């Protein structure tokens, strides 16, 4: 917690106060432009681009595996390979939800690939129709009929136990169209952050306050980061978890067919941690480095809340759709812990970046 700076008439007392704030209390308004620039550049180069590159690669693999289902006669081993890759792609995507800004937002890619619950009535109508599932046709479908979750339903089945023999030719046709659309949209995310692309978001973010066409100041970019981290905490705690818990309705959960919901939530919070630390597969400069320069207590508080949120999610050991009834205390504890993390981001980290960026 910040403690207000107490002015005195004595220069020696002021010097002591300034010295103390570096260790525990963030009372200064110093700006380290060099460090701030490095953090923004490393977010683009160490987190955003590698994450979207990884996501594009995994959805491309998933598409290839769906094609194998179509051409090889669909074996259980091939279906299981699709499931494994689907989960791998989900891991990357859910971590990326800690920074849902830029092209993923302005191009509406988030709702186009990750809307739930599945609209079974309309999905069945599509399967029973004579419509040709071209890429253009799939792209124009309503959001609940495309993306990760209709794919999940088709490869897992309503009970999560679907076998390859249950896949009809029509299922595979729809699955092929869905997988191609997912591959195309995630590839566009990767392209939008590549430095070789005109108007790329990598440069727009990294050069905030230094000629960026999107961010007039570095502060605007840092606020974008912190707000995105807070937003996903709010969505996980209050929409993904608490809304389902309060309704006691498992049909509302995010990934019910694969029993992957708790893993999804955990990856969301892991994504927040990644942004704070400046780390994905490589370790760069992150918000952590700025916070530790001025306020060790705040750094400790954020990391403590991150660990508490991840631990609380780990304590839910039943599939989420069951846990809302079988483990209510663990579910409520997770909601509380994630909201506590959101609070420290909103009430401490956000004012902190306002002090130390401009």
Sole residue written with tokens 């959101």: 342
Question: Has residue 29 got a pLDDT over 80?
Answer: no
Question: CATH homologous superfamily of domain 33-356?
Answer: M75 peptidase, HXXE motif (1.20.1420.20)
What is the DSSP track for 273-310?
Answer: HHHHHTBSSSB---HHHHHHHH-HHHHHHHHHHHHHHH
Question: Has residue 216 got a pLDDT over 60?
Answer: yes
Band (25; pLDDT cuts 50, 70, 90) = low
Quickly count: other Cβ atoms within 10 Å of residue 237's Cβ.
24
Band (3; pLDDT cuts 50, 70, 90) = very low
Lowest mean pLDDT across 117-121, 171-175, 208-212: 117-121
Q: Which two tokens stand for residue 308?
A: 């508490």
Q: Which two tokens stand for residue 39?
A: 């953090």
Question: Has residue 119 got a pLDDT over 50?
Answer: yes
pLDDT digit string (tens) for 157-169?
999 999 999 999 9
Question: Per-domain residue ranges for the chain?
Answer: 33-356
Average of pLDDT values for 97-111?
Answer: 98
Question: Has residue 108 got a pLDDT over 50?
Answer: yes
Exposed (0-12), middle (13-18) or buried (19+): which is 47, by Cβ within 10 Å?
A: buried
Query: pTM score > 0.95 for this model?
Result: no
Q: Which two tokens stand for residue 291?
A: 């916070």
Band (1; pLDDT cuts 50, 70, 90) = very low
Give the C-alpha separation, 66 to 241, whole Å: 31
Q: What's the confidence (pLDDT) of residue 6?
A: 28
Share of residues in the chain with pLDDT > 90 (%): 91
Question: Has residue 233 got a pLDDT over 60?
Answer: yes
Question: How large is the C-alpha radius of gyration of the chain?
Answer: 23
Query: Nearest 5°: phi and psi at 283?
Result: -110, 115
Question: Has residue 5 got a pLDDT over 90?
Answer: no
Q: Cα 144 from chain centroid?
A: 19
């Amino acid at each position: 917690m910040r403690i207000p700076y107490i002015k005195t008439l004595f220069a020696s007392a002021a010097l002591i106060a300034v010295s103390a704030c570096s260790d525990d209390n963030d009372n200064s308004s110093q700006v380290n432009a060099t460090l701030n620039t490095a953090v923004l550049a490393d977010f683009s180069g160490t987190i955003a681009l590698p994450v979207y590159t990884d996501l594009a690669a995994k959805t491309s693999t998933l598409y290839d595996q769906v094609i194998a289902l179509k051409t090889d006669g669909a074996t259980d081993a091939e279906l299981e390979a699709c499931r494994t890759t689907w989960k791998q792609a989900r891991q990357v995507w859910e971590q990326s939800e800690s920074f849902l800004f830029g092209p993923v937002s302005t191009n509406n890619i988030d709702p186009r690939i990750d809307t739930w619950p599945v609209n079974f009535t309309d999905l069945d109508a599509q399967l029973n129709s004579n419509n040709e599932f071209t890429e253009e046709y799939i792209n124009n479908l309503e959001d609940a009929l495309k993306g990760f979750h209709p794919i999940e339903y088709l490869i897992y089945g309503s009970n999560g136990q679907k076998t390859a023999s249950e896949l009809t030719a029509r299922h595979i046709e729809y699955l092929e169209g869905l997988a191609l659309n997912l591959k195309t949209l995630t590839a566009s995310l990767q392209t939008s952050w590549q430095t070789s692309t005109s108007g790329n978001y990598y440069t727009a973010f990294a050069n905030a306050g230094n000629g960026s066409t999107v961010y007039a100041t570095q502060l605007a970019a840092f606020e974008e980061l912190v707000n995105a981290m807070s937003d996903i905490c709010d969505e996980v705690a209050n929409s993904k978890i608490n809304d389902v818990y309060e309704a006691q309705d498992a049909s509302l959960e995010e990934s019910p067919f694969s029993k992957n919901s708790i893993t999804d939530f955990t990856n969301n919070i892991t994504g927040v941690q990644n942004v704070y630390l400046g780390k994905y597969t490589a370790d760069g400069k992150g918000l952590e480095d700025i916070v530790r320069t001025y306020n060790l207590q705040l750094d400790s508080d954020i990391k403590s809340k991150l660990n508490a949120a991840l631990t609380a999610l780990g304590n839910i050991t039943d599939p989420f759709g069951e846990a809302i009834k079988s483990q209510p205390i663990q579910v409520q504890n997770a909601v509380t812990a994630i909201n506590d993390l959101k609070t420290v981001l909103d009430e401490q980290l956000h004012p902190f970046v306002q002090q130390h960026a401009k």
